[in-house]
Amino acid sequence: MGRNKRYGSIFLSSFSRGSYKKGKLKFPVPPFFKIGHRGSAGYCPENTIASFDHAIELGAEFLELDINLTKDGKLAVIHDSTVNRTTNAKGKISDFTMNELKNLDAGSWFHSRFAGESIPELQDVLERYSGKAGLLIEIKKPYQYPGIIEVLSEQFKGYTTDRCRFIVQSFDRQAIQHFHSLCPSIPVGVLIKNSVRGITETELMEISQYASYVNPKITMVNRYLADIIHSLGMKMLVWNINNKREAIKMNLLNADGIISDFPDLL
């Protein structure tokens, strides 16, 4: 297999460890992280305390969350670079201070019973969940926010990695390398998704020089990709898995973690 072969375009329906039969899991289940996507985004307004608390109640061992930088240089836990979709206001995150964001309603858009849920600050999330659940922190569009990597690396001061489990991930490989150079004790991951290009073994080898995780979108995962990631000494957290059949398939491919909007599915 050439190193420049691209992975991610073929979805295999059979697995070398045996075939999957509907309703029956015939293999021992290896340990993998159960990761709540934006908390428990299938049940609660994403990236809120309600969503994170519920994910833990449902058995999530890790909470996935997204960060953007505010006007006053704080890290807001929100997926989009605007507040338009998930709050009662409009505008870019970079035009709000953290206090202004905290006063928005980030729950009613999902359901009236979540009225008053707010956009959390990363610092508050670290304090609330460290030692209780791992945090998988995604840096969103770092090129839009000069200085975000430095701000993020400062956040981890005072947290010991023997007690707290953190992983920092991004699609932006440069940003991840930069973060890794500032905070080498925090494991980092590179997110990948289907594109015309896919990903080559050479690129995966480069990533393995600094990253502990390669985290692919489920649609590009197959036996080849899983085996290469593992043979390079990295782990694989797959997103987003929202039905049991996909979860079982990923388990058979030895996924090290499964990211889901419905953590109880896992």
Closer to ligand G3P at the Cβ: 20 or 135?
A: 135
CA distance 57 to 180: 32
Phi, psi of 192 (to 5 degrees): -135, 150
Q: Is 201 in the site for Ca ion (CB under 5 A)?
A: no
Q: Which of 61, 121, 138, 256 binds ligand G3P (CB under 6 A)?
A: 138
Q: Which of 138, 201, 203, 261 binds Ca ion (CB under 5 A)?
A: 138
CA distance 146 to 70: 11
Closer to Ca ion at the Cβ: 39 or 248?
A: 39
Read out DSSP for 153-222? Answer: HHHTTT--TTT--EEEEES-HHHHHHHHHH-TTS-EEEEE---SS-EEHHHHHHHTTT-SEEEEBGGG--
Active-site residue, 79 included? yes
Contacted entry of ligand G3P, Ca ion, none for residue 191, CB cut-off 5 to 8 Å set by kind: ligand G3P
Q: Is 261 in the site for ligand G3P (CB under 6 A)?
A: no
- By CB under 6 A, the residues from 12 to 31 that bind ligand G3P are none
Active-site residue, 37 included? yes
The answer to whether residues 180 and 153 touch, using CB atoms and an 8 Å cutoff, is no
Closer to ligand G3P at the Cβ: 36 or 107?
A: 36
Minimum CB–partner distance for residue 144 and Ca ion (Å): 15
Contact positions vs ligand G3P (CB under 6 A): 37, 64, 66, 79, 138, 191, 239, 259
